[in-house]
Amino acid sequence: MNAPDTPPPAEPMVRFDSVTKRYGALTVLDSLDLDVAAGEKVAIIGPSGSGKTTVLRMLMTLERINDGVIWVEGEPLTHVKRNGDLVPADERHLRRVRGKIGMVFQHFNLFPHMTALKNCMEAPCTVLKMPKKQAEARAAELLAMVGLGDKLQHFPSQLSGGQQQRVAIARALAMRPKIMLFDEVTSALDPELVGEVLNVIRKLGAEHDLTMLMVTHQMGFAKEFADRVCFFFGGKICEEGPPEQLFGAPENERTRQFLSAVLEAT
């Protein structure tokens, strides 16, 4: 075992190893290699169709990959080790590793027939087998953390978009993931509600030791919050680096084009 004062292993929390995803004749991700270190905050930007959302969806096992392997915390996610070979994972293995990852969706996907509190209790009770009282307390705590302590008994239809998204964040956190995925979580919100959601994410980053991957169009936020920015184009990472470098002095022509187009729109 490691001696207490040696640095932790430099194994990445997430590793995409030559991952390819095709939809019929269309190649959405082309032999992607991507490493994310533990506790790192990565912003993924790029034009639509560049494969950015697919990266998150495959990590969350919402889509199957066609080629390559995804590793999570040193363990294969999409495959299982059998007699030294890697074979495609079965549902049981997926469910085991999936527990380390949580996701917040662009359209919230809250359960409309459950209150905010119940939304956050459902999975801990049925999956983590947490006792009801404990799950309830934890859910209330998380909802308070995202600023909705007084809205526990409200249904999603009674909440604004920003509030719903904050509930969605609390719901994902209730499962104690190590990795949090944010899929364009402010894109479906009215502009004045974007700030409250970004604040919660900021708070998460500061107070918790989470690895975070976010697909976003909020360049300002990415610049201030992310440790690293990846610019996707045509299914590959076109350029990546610390935000000051990518936003300040992009090396690639495509990156420059994209950034100027985005800045024009704002």
Stretch that binds another protein, among 75-83, 102-110, 223-231, 244-252 (CB under 8 A): 102-110
DSSP per-residue string spanning 121-164: HHHHHHTS---HHHHHHHHHHHHHHTT-TT-TT--GGGS-HHHH
Element (H, E) at 230: strand 228-233
Taking the complex as a whole, how short is the minimal distance between the CB of residue 224 and another protein, in angstroms?
27
Taking the complex as a whole, how short is the minimal distance between the CB of residue 181 and another protein, in angstroms?
8
Taking the complex as a whole, how short is the minimal distance between the CB of residue 103 and another protein, in angstroms?
4
| Mutual angle of helices 161-173 and 132-145, in 10-degree steps | 130
Helix, strand or coil for residue 110? coil
Stretch that binds another protein, among 16-24, 55-63, 204-212, 244-252 (CB under 8 A): 55-63
- CA distance linking residue 53 with residue 259, whole number of Å: 18
- Could you say which of 38, 62, 193, 259 contacts another protein (CB under 8 A)? 62
110 interacts with another protein by CB under 8 A: yes
- Give which of 110, 157, 119 is closest to 138, Cα–Cα: 119
109 interacts with another protein by CB under 8 A: yes
262 interacts with another protein by CB under 8 A: no
- CA distance linking residue 165 with residue 187, whole number of Å: 11
- Could you say which of 86, 87, 126, 260 contacts another protein (CB under 8 A)? 126
- Give which of 177, 151, 176 is closest to 166, Cα–Cα: 151
153 interacts with another protein by CB under 8 A: no
158 interacts with another protein by CB under 8 A: no
122 interacts with another protein by CB under 8 A: yes
- Could you say which of 33, 64, 81, 111 contacts another protein (CB under 8 A)? 111
- CA distance linking residue 120 with residue 169, whole number of Å: 9
160 interacts with another protein by CB under 8 A: no
Residues that bind another protein (CB under 8 A): 60-62, 95, 98-99, 101-103, 105, 107-113, 122-123, 126-127, 157, 171-172, 175
